[in-house]
Structure 1
């Protein structure tokens, strides 16, 4: 089993600032995550699935 990712791991994977990840969560968007105690954690497979489901737009 792969280790869970923290916010900085997800931000690094997506190439975004950690603050953007928190903004997405406050709006109910972004990859699914959950609290483990006071820590926010993400399953890598869930993050990758969420990413693959995003529209492939290039502006």
Structure 2
């Protein structure tokens, strides 16, 4: 999967290792990575996806 172009929903799901339905739910809830509407399709910038993942990482050293 190339990182120099926008990913499709299916490519994002494959990258994250989750079902495409999970991506649809994240889009609907507004909890997923930033996406772009291109025509009737939704696309994802790999850089944005990695930033989103970084923001969701758990800090194993902190106690909550």
Q: Sort the TM-score into its range (normalised by shorter chain).
A: 0.7 to 0.9
- TM-score with structure 2 setting the length: 0.81
Q: TM-score, normalised by structure 1?
A: 0.87
**Residue correspondences, number:** 57
Structure 1 stretches (4+) deviating beyond 3 angstroms?
none
Query: Which is bigger in relative contact order (C-alpha 8 A, separation at least 6)?
Result: 1
Structure 2 unaligned segments of length 5 or more: list them.
60-64
Flag the structure with larger Rg.
2
**Unpaired runs of at least 5, structure 1:** none
RMSD: 1.6
